[in-house]
A and B are shown apart, each in its own frame.
Chain A
């Protein structure tokens, strides 16, 4: 019964998010463009699916995965847990947090794979590129970037290095890669940075960041808890650019005359 209640609540919540956008789109279409949407029935059904889909998706996450993820982030950053591995030493050094890095890598990767906004962008990229960029491989590239980014972000919180150093160095890498990578991947790579920090990933990695900055002596949740989102947005750019560079390199090595076709299997999501 409580589950049914929260489902209703979340579906209504997502309706409240989607409805203003839908109304705006319809009004704009009617008044400015002066056209009726010929297929408005299909679109209305689509919007209903979007609303219900988002609602159910969020209930599912909120009911089970988020509490569990937050609990795990708490447990991992608990000094008691960390000490039992370091052999009871009084002072923890950054190496003692290795489970945190592994968890950050794994949770960053796995939550990004389920990120609906990323699936949407990957579907479009696959359609537009005529299948050259497959949905699946783009998502894996982004997910690797987020995993590495979150893991490195955790190291930063523990080591206390200023966030600018990493961000500045990261963008330096991006600049160099932009010059070297195939032109078609560059805008997509930049967009990948923005998409990742969405519904699924942010709540979990924020919990991890806050837990860490509370547990590590000398860190403040207000000043250090945030950096993870910035890391999770920066590193996918690098990994997607690298994916583009690798694909170009492989195409050049294997068949110099057949162009850079990616032979990876098409994903189910591709149109």
Chain B
């Protein structure tokens, strides 16, 4: 208990340090560029305090729950030796967390409006809803597939640079033939999929797996899942845009 408190206190200090750059940048610009006082100083201070407390709690919980759970599951699944369950787990984790992601919902609704403005779909609530739902399905599917590919890569020892660079080359080529309006949405959807809760879990999964499969090094083989999870949605959404056209 006492050790936990010390750990939490240390996290709080680190969080305070993490936040200093933002506070410095914002205050410097307010004072020297705009030459105006930084709004309500008290409320700014209170907000900063909340951010520091939140970040410390998050990091503390990360070590207590997200990291151990992700790694435990990876170890257990690797020991079980069932590739089917391992891939199912990877797919469900990617698909489920992405489909439930609030940031994705916002982007998908926005995308539906853009598509309606460009006359790709009708300007009715049903058509907008369907489009937004389909887009979320596509992105969630993409992240699920990305994690499956990433886990397979760790098992089979595919080259990550080849996968990533090949993937982005493909994206650049497809971007040139995809409809202009979907390009922005596609690139954005790659960014919103990797949320703050998913990242630690997925990282722990990759590293746990790489440390339990013989001949794999957690450093060179454990990372890469996030990179795939950011790449795949761009590709899938671009193709979705071409098909919908």
User: Which one, B59, B183, B230, contacts A269 given CB within 8 A?
Assistant: B59
Residue of B nearest to A18 (CB): B197
Q: Is there contact, CB below 8 Å, between A20 and B96?
A: yes
Residue of B nearest to A81 (CB): B34
Q: Using Cβ atoms and an 8 Å threshold, which residues of chain B touch A17?
A: 100-102, 195, 197
Asked, given contacts A21-B97, A50-B66, A121-B226, whether A171 binds B54 with beta carbons under 8 Å apart, the answer is no
Contact of B53 with A by CB under 8 A: yes
Q: Is there contact, CB below 8 Å, between B197 and A72?
A: no
Asked, given contacts A121-B203, A190-B223, whether A114 binds B73 with beta carbons under 8 Å apart, the answer is no
Q: Using Cβ atoms and an 8 Å threshold, which residues of chain A touch B14?
A: 267-269
Asked, given contacts A24-B93, A187-B224, A191-B225, whether A49 binds B57 with beta carbons under 8 Å apart, the answer is yes
User: Which one, A35, A72, A171, A184, contacts B29 given CB within 8 A?
Assistant: A72
| Residues A31-45 near B (CB distance < 8 A) | 32-33, 35, 37, 39, 42-45
Q: Which segment of B44-52, B119-127, B134-142, B235-243 sits at the interface?
A: B44-52
Q: Is there contact, CB below 8 Å, between B80 and A57?
A: no
User: Which one, A24, A119, A168, A233, contacts B230 given CB within 8 A?
Assistant: A233
User: Which one, B44, B67, B114, B165, contacts A68 given CB within 8 A?
Assistant: B44
The distance in angstroms between the C-alpha atoms of A113 and B17, with both chains bound, is 9
Q: Using Cβ atoms and an 8 Å threshold, which residues of chain A touch B196?
A: 54, 116-117, 120, 198-199
Contact of B56 with A by CB under 8 A: yes
Asked, given contacts A33-B76, A187-B160, whether A50 binds B26 with beta carbons under 8 Å apart, the answer is no
Q: Using Cβ atoms and an 8 Å threshold, which residues of chain B touch A111?
A: 22
Contact mask A43-56 → B, CB, 8 Å, 1/0? 11111111111111
Interface residues in A, total, Cβ within 8 A: 97
Q: Using Cβ atoms and an 8 Å threshold, which residues of chain A touch B192?
A: 197, 202
CB distance from A104 to the nearest CB of B (A): 11
User: Which one, B22, B28, B92, contacts A114 given CB within 8 A?
Assistant: B22
Q: Is there contact, CB below 8 Å, between B191 and A233?
A: yes
The distance in angstroms between the C-alpha atoms of A38 and B63, with both chains bound, is 16
Q: Is there contact, CB below 8 Å, between A49 and B60?
A: yes
Q: Is the interface of B mostly helix, strand, loop or mixed?
A: helix
Contact of B133 with A by CB under 8 A: no
Q: Is there contact, CB below 8 Å, between A168 and B172?
A: yes
Contact of B109 with A by CB under 8 A: no
Q: Using Cβ atoms and an 8 Å threshold, which residues of chain A touch B156?
A: none
Contact of B184 with A by CB under 8 A: yes
CB distance from A233 to the nearest CB of B (A): 6
Q: Is there contact, CB below 8 Å, between A124 and B207?
A: yes
Q: Is there contact, CB below 8 Å, between A28 and B38?
A: no
CB distance from A197 to the nearest CB of B (A): 3
Residue of A nearest to B58 (CB): A53
The distance in angstroms between the C-alpha atoms of A111 and B192, with both chains bound, is 16
Contact of A208 with B by CB under 8 A: no
Contact of B61 with A by CB under 8 A: yes
Q: Using Cβ atoms and an 8 Å threshold, which residues of chain B touch A269?
A: 11, 14, 59
CB distance from B44 to the nearest CB of A (A): 5
Contact of A90 with B by CB under 8 A: no
List 19 additional contacts besides A42-B68, A120-B62, A190-B226; criterion CB under 8 Å: A21-B97, A21-B197, A43-B69, A50-B65, A54-B58, A55-B54, A56-B51, A60-B48, A65-B22, A65-B26, A69-B26, A116-B62, A117-B196, A120-B196, A120-B199, A123-B62, A184-B219, A190-B227, A230-B190
**Can you show 20 pairs from A to B with CB atoms below 8 A apart?**
A21-B97, A28-B89, A42-B68, A46-B61, A50-B197, A52-B54, A53-B55, A53-B61, A55-B54, A68-B26, A69-B26, A106-B29, A113-B22, A117-B194, A120-B62, A171-B172, A191-B226, A195-B199, A199-B195, A225-B184
Closest 3 CB pairs of A and B: A46-B65, A64-B47, A57-B54
